[in-house]
Amino acid sequence: MPIAFQNAEGLKPGLVIYLTVGDQGLKTTRDVALAALDAGADVLELGVPFSDPVADGPVIQRASQRALAAGTRLEDVLALAGELRRLRPRCGLVIFSYLNPLLRYGMERFCERAEECGVDGVLATDLPVEEAGPHLELLRRRRLKPIFLAAPTSTDARLRAIAEVSEGFVYAISRTAITGVRRELASDARGLVERLRRVTGLPIAVGFGVSLPEHVAALAEFADAAVIGSAIVSLIESSTPESAPVCVAEFLRGLRTLPHPAGTACGSGRP
């Protein structure tokens, strides 16, 4: 599967949705994932919960704790990917993890299972390009796209190295920050995307702090996709398992249509 940021309606920018798998139970993640895809999400990042998520803020930390307390394992994340692939053959599926759960599972075995389950790409938060060497080979052998983060602090030399090994898309971090919902879209984002455009022809998705229709509208001008993470995870946290899919779908529909529809039973996902 190529990862594509053009949904049926041709809406811009593309939407990448991060979910911590197993938060409120696997069934909730599955239902929310389907609802998000049907509300126009192009790519799902299926987050593997980890005990020590150093790059994440309180919202995703809490979601990871809940998912782990519910007993979620990497195997469950892969099985969910397989199910989503069967139900929605055209969506993009990315496994988003810290490195250690993948190492413990065995990188080769992980890649084999991920391919079987129809996963498109893999992003490991704490795996920078210089440590990726042997993993890249295993990923490519299974036709999994290695996806890397690029940061406002990344030097041009680092951006070139990232561009060289990335496939599918590049994930540009909008600000020097951990994950979390923010009011303003960082001014860092546009500059970083411009620098990335000089070194890669791959689509660029911008994330970290993206949560408002204004952010998404701004990103439509210079990025290919917006990554929505903590805003969705926070919505799930404040919903019941029954209401979460509806709330997430409503939130996503609102994101690409300014202004935000008012007066609903759901939280806003706003900062």
Partner 1 sequence: MNTQISPAAEVPPGRFGAYGGRYLPETLMAAIEELEQAYAEAGADPAFQAELAGLLKDYAGRPTPLYLATRLTRQLGGAKIYLKREDLLHTGAHKINNCLGQGLLARRMGKRRIIAETGAGQHGVATATVCALFGMECVVYMGSEDMARQELNVYRMRMLGAEVRAVDAGSRTLKDAISEAMRDWVTNVRTTHYLLGSVLGAHPYPAMVRDFHRVIGQEARRQILERESRLPTAVLACVGGGSNAIGIFYDFIPDAQGDARVRLIGVEAGGRGAALGSHAARFQGGSPGVLQGAYSYVLQDDAGQIAATHSVSAGLDYASVGPEHAALHDSGRAEYVAATDREALEAALRLARTEGIVPALESAHAVAECIRLAPRLSPEDILLVNLSGRGDKDMGILARELQLGGG
- Whole-number minimum distance, CB 48 to partner 1, in Å? 9
Place of tokens 């919903």: 239
Q: Which of 34, 93, 114, 127 binds partner 1 (CB under 8 A)?
A: 127
Question: Side chain identity at 170, as an amino acid letter?
Answer: V
Distance in angstroms (rounded) separating the CA atoms of residues 101 and 189? 30
Rg over alpha carbons for the chain, rounded to the nearest Å, is 17
Which residue stretch of 175-183, 221-229, 239-247, 258-266 sits at the interface with partner 1 (rule: CB under 8 A)?
A: 175-183
- Whole-number minimum distance, CB 211 to partner 1, in Å? 17
DSSP reduced 3-state for 185: coil
Find out whether 259 and 212 touch, Cβ atoms under 8 Å.
no
Q: Angle 83-135-154 (CA atoms, 0-180°, nearest 5)? A: 100
Active-site residue, 56 included: yes
Residue whose CB is less far from partner 1, 176 or 257: 176
Verify binding: residue 18, partner 1, rule CB under 8 A: no
Q: Which of 24, 28, 154, 234 binds partner 1 (CB under 8 A)?
A: 154
Residue whose CB is less far from partner 1, 209 or 245: 209
- Whole-number minimum distance, CB 162 to partner 1, in Å? 8
Distance in angstroms (rounded) separating the CA atoms of residues 114 and 12? 29
Task: Kindly tell me the burial class for residue 209, based on how many C-beta atoms sit within 10 Å of its own C-beta (0-12, 13-18, 19 or more).
Answer: buried
- Whole-number minimum distance, CB 147 to partner 1, in Å? 12
**Nearest CA-CA partner of 94 in 164, 208, 170:** 170
Size of the site for partner 1 (CB under 8 A): 48
The one catalytic residue among 23, 31, 56, 76: 56
Place of tokens 């969506």: 91
What does the binding site for partner 1 look like in residue numbers (CB under 8 A)? Answer: 50-57, 61, 68, 73-74, 98-109, 125-128, 130-131, 133-135, 138, 148-155, 158, 162, 173, 176-178
